Amino acid sequence: MPRTQVARRYAKALLSLAQERGEGETTGNQLGQVAELFADPELAKILALPALPASVRQDMVTQLVAQGSLHEIVEKFLRVLADSDRLQDIGAINEAYQQLLDKALGRVRARVRSAVELEEEQKQLLVQTFGQLTQKTVEPTFEIDDSLLGGVVVEVEGRVYDASLKTHLARLGDQLARHM
């Protein structure tokens, strides 16, 4: 079974348990933090070792639990992943979990890139506009990308809305080239 399907199944099961306890958001936040820790390249190499004993994976989880205050559901979930030799999939599981949680909560994440820092009114207008377009609550992340020259590029639900000066100039150049 492909990794994404496995990740989605684990994420679905975790979300179901977390929602039963009213801890969907908290679990998602903690899962995200754990996924960041496991994204370390050195740790990823260790987890990818096929002969890594389950006891070593469990020890890793124990050390992780000792460092932070993880909720019981996250701790038990990590132990299940360690027993199943799936700790290396935590990044994909986290991504699937966040997508499922967003869908359950009726929200969508938007990545907004602009050439310059947007004013607060502009940010609110973008959030409001894409909220109306998607009929969901928009959770934006704003980034500065000076390669755009001007304007904005918004990525939401797998779609790209490009209103950048760079793209407009490229299109204009293409049109001019065709007419010459």
Query: Hey, where are the domains in the chain?
Result: 3-103, 108-178
Q: What mean pLDDT comes out for the span 166-172?
A: 78
Q: How far is CA 49 from CA 57, 65, 77, 87, 177, in A?
A: 11, 22, 21, 11, 54
Q: What mean pLDDT comes out for the span 40-57?
A: 82
Share above pLDDT 90 across residues of the chain, in percent, rounded to a whole number: 56
In CATH terms, 3-103 corresponds, of 3.40.720.10, 1.20.1200.10, 1.10.520.20, 3.40.50.1820, to: 1.10.520.20
Is pLDDT above 90 for 141? yes
Among the residue ranges 58-72, 78-92, 93-107, the one predicted with the least confidence is: 58-72
pLDDT band with cut points at 50, 70 and 90 for residue 2 = low
| pLDDT at position 93 | 96
